[in-house]
Amino acid sequence: MTSINSARRDLAARLEAAGIDDAALEAKHLVAAATGLTGASLIAEGQRDLTEAEAGRLEGVASRRLAREPLAHILGTQPFWTLDLAVSADVLVPRADTETLVEVALDLMPASTPGIPRILDIGTGSGAILLAILKERPNAYGIGTDISPEALDIAERNAAANGLDGRSSFRHTKWADGLPDASFDLAVSNPPYIASAVIESLQPEVRLHDPRLALDGGADGLDAYRVLLPELMRVVKPGGAMAVEIGFDQRDPVSELAVQAGFDKVTVRSDLGGNDRVVFARKRS
Ligand SMILES: C[S@@+](CC[C@H](N)C(=O)[O-])C[C@H]1O[C@@H](n2cnc3c(N)ncnc32)[C@H](O)[C@@H]1O
């Protein structure tokens, strides 16, 4: 028999040997998932032996993680901003870097914005960006679009689970197709922006488990922006704003596309790691 604590230590060592970062933290999450124990009870019961059922479940989740399935897919949830979001293989696992886009969006649309500000999130995936903004702006209404109906199901579930379904709706459409001109105060997007040839060099959690549709930005990674920037210009109200996430080396071409689309005051914001992460701008009043 093995105690919970020693199972946790053994698993951390196996994850570390497999090259997984944050092995100790991931082992804790997997042991919690297998035992149903969290926080204080995981510590309080740490000396007791795993039951046979718990040991079986732990080996099941451990072997999935050792085969490089993302932790978020195994747990079925991923924290993002102040939310705990449902995720699956049908959506990109929301990334901490994307919180920079949420910060920019909140700066562009302060809490003092009058009326019912309208927000659009193009390629919403799990709904992460839109729901984080709506959570911080209780007077706002948001629409999320995606080309993947499976992703939209998850976004809808996340909206309902966070009490935001009354202030959001989700549309199955390509980019902003079918949405009216000049109808949003703020439009955001984290589009697929990885150059096709680079995808094969990414870590297995990403290349094998994030949806290709969420990653592939075409030959130079910029295909989505070429369509998106003019579309953002079309749907944003005069005086409104847009913000898009970018790859670390895309500030110049994406800024140039924003200028070509007619945006004013094009600016770049870095993420916490110091990489250029968001291009944002205003549409002239
Ligand atoms: C990088 S993921 C971002 C997901 C989510 N917004 C986030 O930040 O976690 C890009 C999303 O764009 C969607 N997408 C790809 N092509 C699209 C298109 N032509 N129209 C609408 N959405 C698209 C994908 O299905 C995916 O959900």
- Tens-digit pLDDT profile for residues 104-150: 999 999 999 999 999 999 999 999 999 999 999 999 999 999 999 99
Q: Inter-axis angle of helices 52-66 and 23-35, to 10 degrees?
A: 140
Residue whose Cα lies nearest atom 12 of ligand 1: it is: 123
Q: How far is the CA of 121 from the centre of ligand 1 (A)?
A: 9
14 inside domain: yes
127 lies in the same domain as 191: yes
72 inside domain: no
The two tokens of residue 231 are: 């579309």
β-pairing, 264-270 with 276-282?
antiparallel
Q: How far is the CA of 136 from the centre of ligand 1 (A)?
A: 22
144 lies in the same domain as 54: no
Q: CA-to-CA distance for 17 and 46, rounded, in angstroms?
A: 23
Which residue of 133, 146, 179, 212 sits with most ligand 1 atoms within 8 Å of its CB, as the best mutation to test the pocket?
Answer: 146
Tens digits of residue pLDDT in 41-85: 999 999 999 999 999 999 999 999 999 999 999 999 999 999 999
pLDDT on residue 39: 84
Q: Where in the sequence is the domain holding 109, given as residue range(s)?
A: 77-282
85 lies in the same domain as 216: yes
173 inside domain: yes
145 inside domain: yes
42 inside domain: yes
Domain containing residue 219: CATH number: 3.40.50.150
Q: Which of 57, 213, 87, 59 is nearest to 146 (CA)?
A: 213
120 inside domain: yes
Q: Inter-axis angle of helices 52-66 and 4-17, to 10 degrees?
A: 10
Q: Does ligand 1 lie within 6 Å of residue 174's CB atom?
A: yes
Boundary (domain end) residue, out of 14, 40, 67: 67
Q: Does ligand 1 lie within 6 Å of residue 158's CB atom?
A: no
pTM score, whole prediction: 0.96
265 lies in the same domain as 237: yes
Boundary (domain end) residue, out of 67, 86, 114: 67
Q: Does ligand 1 lie within 6 Å of residue 145's CB atom?
A: yes
Q: CA-to-CA distance for 86 and 148, rounded, in angstroms?
A: 16
Residue scoring higher pLDDT (172 or 114): 172
Average pLDDT over residues 169-196: 98
Which residue of 124, 177, 250 sits with most ligand 1 atoms within 8 Å of its CB, as the best mutation to test the pocket?
Answer: 124
Q: How far is the CA of 243 from the centre of ligand 1 (A)?
A: 15
> What is the total count of domains within the chain?
2
Q: Does ligand 1 lie within 6 Å of residue 117's CB atom?
A: no
176 lies in the same domain as 252: yes
Boundary (domain end) residue, out of 48, 67, 86: 67
